[in-house]
Structure 1
């Protein structure tokens, strides 16, 4: 079929297998160009098919030949209908890993469920014995609790008062004000239930009970803080409460791992174009301005660059550098005072008329469509492409 991008609001409902393959190959090439990385032998990535999770898996596998198991929830292809991009990403990743003799298997299903947890544990026990690193990188808007059966849905709302600020429709370039009503207590509880640390802790508890964690085991989950500019809708909003819970959970997990000298970390990463961030009001405009400034300063990074720096300059050092709250900070370049001061100045000037010159809306749109395998110069989108692609190591 001829596969074209079809958008519905802030998501793209089609994806291109050859474009997704190109994205993965670019990331693999980047990691290979950086040389050997010292990192754990056996790695479990929960949320492994896109974004930071995918980049973590690539960094482990192609930086240090690590055996990886990936867990994700993606839509497989049907005749005449494309798979979700994470499906094609994983197919490309596993194909390349297997070519090089690197162990890579995947499980597709609801990572919040007991069923998928148990299926993953059985695979680890059978194939790897123990896990040295768990990367927790889930980004789901809903969670059915495995004990209560309640379906929780997260929200993107400010706490206390309604919030009004500028945002951009990145499809049209229109900059306009948007108002978001304040959340309820129920909104906070639901968002924490979905995006907080409970499921991360459940995974680690189950792995430890089955003796599937090695001594000196590490686990890392990803978070975001961001600037004052976005805090009302992000860090001081419902998502922020969930991130607070996630970050506190790192200490709880570390306490539970003392007998195997294990440690749980939070890595605070930089703002990037993702399906999730595209749906958060204010964030697309902030990222458009941020990218412009970071590129001008030669410090712009994508997921793969961030994960390489996390692995080589933070997570696997004898002494892991953290902030006063115990968090690893690889958002340090984004949060540089000179970068943030310039972004704040541009924010005041941002309008529909000025954004094309003072921001990087073109770069934002390109990266958004790249997420789904589109806008790669090397891919011919006019030719027939087989939408049916299999993941070689899918269990």
Structure 2
């Protein structure tokens, strides 16, 4: 079949196999030139794309780690392509195994108990125990089997409604978005989906199964942002989920230190669980959040002009080498590892705010990097790469 992007709002419902392979290959090429003195057995929960996939690539290709990846993507059929994450992880496995590394992927719903059981069994069959767990799950809803109930997250402000600018990414036009304030049920549901409960449940399950190595660490990723994004990220339902994540990291640290997670230095003040704060980038989750596509388009333009822009693989390698497995990373008062400092400089934020006030349909492409945003969005699904013939007939189920 000839595969062209089918974009519906903030999601692309298909993916191009060759393009997804190129998406992985480019990150592998970058990571292969870097060195990471890190873990040798890593579990990545949420390895479809974005920061989770970049973590898997960095750990393996820069640090020589054996990896198990957990993702939840549609498998291919003769008539439909797979989800991008299916192609990404298949490609990664092939490249990692070619280097003599163990690489296994499980296509399962990370929220479910049977997924946790399957991963634990895979660990026991392969690496026996893990030195690092990366938690990078971003999902719009979650099924809790013990309650036989679905929870859906919402992107709403708390306490009052919100009205602001955003961009229609299909039409490339500035428009106004209005969001009603969330009620308590919506807040609670968002915390249930996007908070730290499932991360904690993973660590508890792994600990109970005795598959956490001595000195094991874990990290979950988050985004904080600044003034423009605070109505959506701070004073909002997502903000409540992030507060829950902060509480969870304390509980995980207590669990790991009371059991087998104390660092090999033996210093009890050392932490084993971390939250990593990353910069705003185009990911499948950020594309769904009002305000963010326009903010990211402006941010890309400013940071590229100032020479401080980084992509997923650069951000992840920096947080791993300088923070989680180094001592040269900025930490905030809550102990979070921060590699979003270039985004939050006064020089960058003041310029983004200045352009935010001036942006219009007439000057969108002059003041922002909307084309760069859209290009990065399509790359998440394997489209827009040079050197790939998108008119060629390809198999949705690749032979490799």
Task: Please state how far the C-alpha of 1:243 moved relative to its aligned partner.
Answer: 1.1
Contact 2:2–2:393 (CA under 8 A) maintained in structure 1: yes
Residues 110-166 of structure 1 deviation map (CA, whole Å, 9 limit, x = unaligned): 111000100100111121111100000001111111422221000000111110001
Residues 303-356 of structure 1 deviation map (CA, whole Å, 9 limit, x = unaligned): 101011011111112586521011001111111111001100000001111111
288, 291, 300: which one pairs with 1:291? 300
Distance 1:339 1:167 in 2: 19
Tell me: CA distance 1:319–1:382, structure 2 relative to 1, closer, same or farther (3 Å): closer
Matches within 5 A, 1:224-303: 224-259=223-258, 260=260, 261=262, 263-303=272-312
Residues 338-376 of structure 1 deviation map (CA, whole Å, 9 limit, x = unaligned): 100110000000111111101000100100100100000
Matches within 5 A, 1:311-330: 311-317=320-326, 321-330=330-339
Distance 2:175 2:28 in 1: 39
The equivalent residue for 2:164 is: 165
Q: Tell me, what secondary structure is at the counterpart of 1:232?
A: helix
Q: Tell me, what secondary structure is at the counterpart of 2:347?
A: helix
The equivalent residue for 1:388 is: 397
The equivalent residue for 2:319 is: 310
1:377 aligns with 2:376: no
Q: Which runs of 5+ in 2 are unaligned?
A: 264-271
Contact 1:112–1:146 (CA under 8 A) maintained in structure 2: no
Contact 1:170–1:364 (CA under 8 A) maintained in structure 2: no
Residues 218-265 of structure 1 deviation map (CA, whole Å, 9 limit, x = unaligned): 000001101111111222110111111012211110011113205100
Contact 1:171–1:365 (CA under 8 A) maintained in structure 2: no
The equivalent residue for 1:67 is: 66
Instruction: Judge which range, 258-267 or 64-73, deviates more.
Output: 258-267
344, 348, 355: which one pairs with 1:339? 348
Distance 1:320 1:130 in 2: 27
The equivalent residue for 1:51 is: 50
Contact 2:9–2:169 (CA under 8 A) maintained in structure 1: no
Contact 1:77–1:389 (CA under 8 A) maintained in structure 2: no
Consecutive aligned runs of 4 or more in structure 1 exceeding 3 Å deviation: 318-321
Q: Tell me, what secondary structure is at the counterpart of 1:273?
A: coil
Q: Tell me, what secondary structure is at the counterpart of 1:105?
A: strand
Number of equivalenced pairs: 390
Name the Cα RMSD after superposition.
1.2
Q: Tell me, what secondary structure is at the counterpart of 2:274?
A: strand
Tell me: CA distance 1:31–1:185, structure 2 relative to 1, closer, same or farther (3 Å): same
Task: Please state how far the C-alpha of 1:171 moved relative to its aligned partner.
Answer: 2.4
Contact 2:329–2:339 (CA under 8 A) maintained in structure 1: no
348, 354, 358: which one pairs with 1:349? 358
Q: Which runs of 5+ in 1 are unaligned?
A: none
Q: Tell me, what secondary structure is at the counterpart of 2:174?
A: strand
Contact 2:48–2:86 (CA under 8 A) maintained in structure 1: yes
Residues 191-239 of structure 1 deviation map (CA, whole Å, 9 limit, x = unaligned): 0000000000000011111111111110000011011111112221101
Contact 2:66–2:103 (CA under 8 A) maintained in structure 1: yes
Distance 1:14 1:98 in 2: 27
The equivalent residue for 1:223 is: 222
Contact 2:329–2:338 (CA under 8 A) maintained in structure 1: no
Distance 1:270 1:146 in 2: 34
1:120 aligns with 2:129: no
Tell me: CA distance 1:334–1:203, structure 2 relative to 1, closer, same or farther (3 Å): same
The equivalent residue for 2:268 is: none
Contact 1:21–1:373 (CA under 8 A) maintained in structure 2: yes
The equivalent residue for 2:266 is: none
1:17 aligns with 2:28: no
TM-score normalised to the size of structure 2?
0.95
Contact 1:91–1:389 (CA under 8 A) maintained in structure 2: no
The equivalent residue for 1:177 is: 176
The equivalent residue for 1:92 is: 91
Distance 1:312 1:55 in 2: 14
